[in-house]
Structures are given as C-alpha cells and as structure tokens.
Amino acid sequence: MGVTTIAAADLKKVPGLEKYSPRRVIPFVVMPDGSSLLEFGAIVMYILETYDKSHKFHPTIGHRNRAKFFQGLFFVATEAYKAVVPVFLLCFNMKHHDRDQEKLKPAKKKFTEDVIGHLEKELNYDYYMGEFSAIDIMFTYVLTLADMVQEDLVTGKAQEYLQRLHTRESYSKVYS
C-alpha cells in the first residue's frame, strides 16, 4: 500500500481530488477497483483486516477484548478526533499570547474532560488493551497533536501513556 502526502494548503487545489473525497478531506484510500474508502476509523479496520492477518494489532472475532477494541476505535475516530482538532487549529504555529483564549479555554476543557477523562477511566494497563494494539497507534496521533501545541494538556496517566508510546521504535520511524 503506497502513501501520498497532501499538504493542507493543496487539499482544495489538487485537480480531481473530489472524485475520491467529495469534501476534499483526508485520509482516504484508493481501493483496488478504483473506488475510494473514506473515514479513518473504517480505514484503520480495512488496513487491519487486509494486512494484520496474524492479529498482532487487533483481536480476533470472539476474543474477550473485541468489544473494548471497538470502543477504543470509535472513541478515537469520533470523540477524541472532534476534541483535538479545535485545540490544534487554535494553537498551531501561534505564540501563546496570540491565541484566542476565549475559544481556546472551552476547547481545552472539552479535550480534558473527554479524552483525558476517557483514558483516566479506561487505561488500566500500559496499553489500552493490555497488549499494544492499533488503538494505541490511534491514540498516539491524537495525544501527540495535543501535546505538541499545548504543553499542559496531556496530563497524569495520559502523559505517562504518551511517554511510553514515544519510546517505541515504530514511533521514531513514523514521526521523525
């Protein structure tokens, strides 16, 4: 599976992109039959079912952890994503004193309550499922984005979790 990176500034300009992504949003996968697959939760599941045949990163049907896996997948793709994007957009490339605090304060509050609150409750082991899984890869993205733009946001158990995720070899490979 090849990966093409599209810069945010080019998203609205790349000719013909709407054929695959009508709202011109990423990510999407061009499928073998030329159609496209949208929604990153669906894309994660598709990649796992296609390439993770040995179930290293996702539990088998009937596995006792399968329900929790679905919870993590849907939580990151919907709630966590929705909570981190406003924080990111209000902070990225902006010095602290230039940030719109009136908008940032409720965005940070929502991120803390929703994402940090979820992890405080659900993170009972080193990783979300106990063993490292695709859910941890998904959380790495959300927590790294938040921590990168606002240093006091990822706290407590979630900060320890993020440090653990950052020490993994795969993290250095993907994010360097």
Ligand X SMILES: N[C@@H](CCC(=O)N[C@@H](CS)C(=O)NCC(=O)O)C(=O)O
By CB under 6 A, name the binding residues for ligand X.
11, 25-27, 39-40, 77
Q: Looking at beta carbons only, is 85 or 123 nearer to ligand X?
A: 85
CB atoms within 10 A of CB 91: 22
Q: How far is Cα 71 from Cα 19, in angstroms, rounded to an integer?
A: 31
Q: Looking at beta carbons only, is 22 or 130 nearer to ligand X?
A: 22
Q: How far is Cα 154 from Cα 2, in angstroms, rounded to an integer?
A: 32
Does residue 22 have a cis peptide bond before it, meaning omega lies within 30 degrees of 0?
Answer: no
Contacts of 131 (CB under 8 A, 6+ apart): none
Q: How far is Cα 126 from Cα 123, in angstroms, rounded to an integer?
A: 7
Q: How far is Cα 73 from Cα 69, in angstroms, rounded to an integer?
A: 6
Nearest distance from C-beta of residue 157 to ligand X, angstroms: 25
Q: Looking at beta carbons only, is 26 or 47 nearer to ligand X?
A: 26
For residue 153, how far is the Cα from the chain centroid?
16
The residue of the chain with the least Cβ separation from ligand X equals 25
Nearest distance from C-beta of residue 167 to ligand X, angstroms: 25
Nearest distance from C-beta of residue 147 to ligand X, angstroms: 17
Q: Looking at beta carbons only, is 45 or 162 nearer to ligand X?
A: 45
Nearest distance from C-beta of residue 132 to ligand X, angstroms: 23
Q: What length is written for the chain?
A: 176
Nearest distance from C-beta of residue 151 to ligand X, angstroms: 22
Q: Looking at beta carbons only, is 29 or 119 nearer to ligand X?
A: 29
Q: How far is Cα 103 from Cα 112, in angstroms, rounded to an integer?
A: 15
